[in-house]
Amino acid sequence: MATALHHLSDYDPATIPSTKGMRFGIVVADWNDRYTYAMAEAAVETLRKHGVSDEDIDIKHVPGSFELVYGSAWMIRNMHVDAVIAIGCVIRGDTPHFDYICQGTTQGLAQLNANGDIPVIYGLLTCNNAEQAEARTGGVLGNKGTECAVTAIKMVAYGEK
């Protein structure tokens, strides 16, 4: 049975809470920067679209996706942000390296979320090939960075209703 493709950038702007007073951190992996930088740009554009000023968006870079855990933890401790968006991209190769990086990063980000007061948004693409990464960073499936920014806003407002 075929399923319809979900465009990652599709959302109802009316469902987005006010961003007044919110500060966001974005940690971006430099590895596979063609994809990670496109996601970071989409995240920033989406935050701006919903009223977040540039002064309330802090961006830091780490070498690769595995370092997103440290970068996110550092940002939580030192940058006074309300949410962190962790952006990375791992593309499967010929060795098990892909599995180790994806598992370790996922577990680390999940631990930060479960044990902290600041939401960490999972923006790690785990793709089998470059075409899948392209489709999710501005291609036919939209941009995962947009989805991450929307999620960050909603999670900061989560307990405020």
At 77-123, the pLDDT tens digits run 999 999 999 999 999 999 999 999 999 999 999 999 999 999 999 99
The total number of residues written for the chain in this structure: 161
- Exposed / middle / buried, residue 54 (Cβ in 10 Å: 0-12, 13-18, 19+): exposed
Mean pLDDT of 140-157: 97
Residue 49 in domain: yes
Task: Give the residue from 158, 113, 145 showing the smallest Cα distance to 22.
Answer: 158
Per-residue pLDDT at 4 exceeds 80: no
Q: What's the CATH number where 79 sits?
A: 3.40.50.960
User: Which tops the pLDDT comparison, 34 or 12?
Assistant: 34
Per-residue pLDDT at 65 exceeds 50: yes
Domain encompassing residue 142: 23-156
Q: How many Cβ atoms are within 10 Å of 88's Cβ, its own excluded?
A: 29
Q: Are strands 142-143 and 137-139 parallel, antiparallel or unpaired?
A: antiparallel
- Exposed / middle / buried, residue 13 (Cβ in 10 Å: 0-12, 13-18, 19+): exposed
- Exposed / middle / buried, residue 106 (Cβ in 10 Å: 0-12, 13-18, 19+): middle
Mean pLDDT of 68-80: 97
Per-residue pLDDT at 159 exceeds 80: no
Residue 161 in domain: no
Residue 28 in domain: yes
Name residues whose C-beta falls within 8 Å of residue 147's C-beta, 6 or more positions apart in sequence.
8, 9, 11
For residue 33, list its beta bridge partners: none
Instruction: Kindly list the catalytic residues.
Output: 97
| Total structural domains within the chain | 1
Q: Which percentage of the chain shows pLDDT scores above 90? A: 91
Positions of E strands within the chain: 24-29, 57-62, 83-91, 120-127, 137-139, 142-143
pTM beyond 0.85, yes or no:
yes
Mean pLDDT of 22-49: 98
- Exposed / middle / buried, residue 42 (Cβ in 10 Å: 0-12, 13-18, 19+): buried
Residue 7 in domain: no
Residue 131 in domain: yes
Mean pLDDT of the chain: 94
